[in-house]
C-alpha cells in the first residue's frame, strides 16, 4: 500500500471510493490491518472499555492515549493514524493545543479526534489554525454518555437532526478535515455526507457515508455484547488479517452495514 494521508482520504471521497477504518491499540495488530488494506487506524479511547475493562471511555487518561498511540505509530508503515483526545483533555482551546501536541509529537498521530458540535467550534478553529488536523465526532458521543442518558441513537427528531446538520457544516467551516457520525439514522447520515466536502465516516450510521469504522474487538468477535451495528468478521476467515480483509471488502463494496444493522 502507498502511504495514506489526508489528501488521499479527500480524494477517495471525491472518487466515491469507500474508506475503511478500524480501531487499533498496540503494535501487534498493525501489520495484519495494513496487510488487509485498512486505510485509517484509530487509537480510540474505546480502549478504556475493550482493553482496560471500564464501563465507559471516561477513565482513559492522556498519558494512556499517548502511550497507545506511540505503540501503533512505531509499527505503522502506510495507514493514516488518528488519536482520540480523551475526556476533559480539550475543555478549552489552550488545553486542546497542549493535548494535540502530545498526541502528535510524543504519540506520532497524524490527526486528533474530538467529540462535540457547536461548543467545540473555537477549539477546532484554534487547532486547525496551528496546523493540527482535526476529525470531529457527532451523533452518539461516548464521552457524554451520562449526559445523554445512555448509548442511544441520536438525531431521530427534526430538531436534533437539524442541529446535527448545522453542527457538521460549522465544524467543516471551522477547519475539521474529517467527521465521524456515530449511531445516527441512515437517512440523516447520508444527507450530511452529501452536504460536506470532507470525508464522513459512519459507525452505526448506515452504508451511505464515505467510509465505515468499527472497534477491532467487535470485528474479531471478542465483544461479549456485540453492538447491533457491528459484525463478527472473523467467522469463516481463520485469521485476524482475514477478518480485517473481509471488513475492508464489505466496506469497499457497500455491503456493510447490512439492512438489519441500520439503526433508526
Residue keyed to cell 449526559: 147
Give pLDDT, residue 262: 64
Residue keyed to cell 498496540: 26
Give pLDDT, residue 264: 61
Contact 72, 26 (CB under 8 A): yes
Specify the pairing of strand 178-182 against strand 200-203: parallel
Give pLDDT, residue 175: 98
Residue keyed to cell 506511540: 70
- 118 is a catalytic site residue: no
**Mutual angle of helices 121-129 and 158-174, in 10-degree steps:** 20
Q: Which of 92, 182, 187, 258 is catalytic?
A: 182
Question: What does the pLDDT profile of the chain (264 residues) look like in tens digits?
Answer: 789 999 999 999 999 999 999 999 999 999 999 999 999 999 999 999 999 999 999 999 999 999 999 999 999 999 999 999 999 999 999 999 999 999 999 999 999 999 999 999 999 999 999 999 999 999 999 998 877 777 788 999 999 999 999 999 999 999 999 999 999 999 999 999 999 999 999 999 999 999 999 999 999 999 988 898 999 999 999 899 999 999 999 999 999 998 766 666
Does domain 6-261 fall under CATH 3.20.20.60? My reply is yes
H or E element that contains 15:
helix 6-15
User: Alpha-carbon distance 142 to 180, whole Å?
Assistant: 12
Report residue 87 as a C-alpha cell.
475526556
Q: What is the pTM of this model?
A: 0.96
Give pLDDT, residue 147: 79
Q: Where are the alpha helices (DSSP H) in 16-157?
A: 30-35, 47-50, 62-75, 93-105, 121-129, 145-148
Amino acid at each position: 500500500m502507498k502511504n495514506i494521508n489526508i489528501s488521499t482520504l479527500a480524494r477517495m471521497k471525491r472518487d466515491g471510493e469507500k474508506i475503511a477504518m478500524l480501531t487499533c491499540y498496540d503494535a501487534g495488530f498493525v501489520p495484519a490491518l495494513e496487510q488487509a488494506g485498512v486505510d485509517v487506524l484509530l487509537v480510540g479511547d474505546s480502549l478504556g472499555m475493550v482493553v482496560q475493562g471500564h464501563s465507559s471511555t471516561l477513565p482513559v487518561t492522556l498519558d494512556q492515549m499517548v502511550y497507545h498511540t506511540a505503540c501503533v505509530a512505531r509499527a505503522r508503515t502506510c495507514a493514516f493514524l488518528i488519536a482520540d483526545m480523551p475526556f476533559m483533555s480539550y475543555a478549552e482551546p489552550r488545553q486542546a493545543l497542549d493535548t494535540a501536541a502530545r498526541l502528535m509529537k510524543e504519540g506520532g498521530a497524524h490527526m486528533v479526534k474530538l467529540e462535540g458540535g457547536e461548543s467545540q467550534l473555537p477549539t477546532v478553529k484554534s487547532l486547525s489554525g496551528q496546523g493540527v488536523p482535526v476529525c470531529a465526532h457527532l451523533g452518539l458521543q461516548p464521552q457524554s454518555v451520562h449526559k445523554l442518558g445512555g448509548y442511544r441513537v441520536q438525531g431521530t427528531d427534526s430538531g436534533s437532526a437539524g442541529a446535527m446538520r448545522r453542527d457538521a457544516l460549522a465544524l467543516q467551516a471551522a477547519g475539521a478535515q474529517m467527521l465521524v457520525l456515530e449511531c445516527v439514522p441512515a437517512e440523516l447520515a447520508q444527507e450530511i455526507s452529501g452536504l460536506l466536502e470532507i470525508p464522513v465516516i459512519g459507525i452505526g450510521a448506515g452504508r451511505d457515508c464515505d467510509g465505515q469504522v468499527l472497534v477491532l474487538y467487535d470485528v474479531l468477535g471478542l465483544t461479549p455484547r456485540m453492538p447491533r451495528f457491528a459484525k463478527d468478521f472473523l467467522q469463516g476467515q481463520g485469521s485476524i488479517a482475514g477478518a480485517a480483509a473481509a471488513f475492508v471488502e464489505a466496506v469497499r463494496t457497500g455491503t456493510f452495514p447490512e439492512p438489519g444493522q441500520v439503526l433508526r
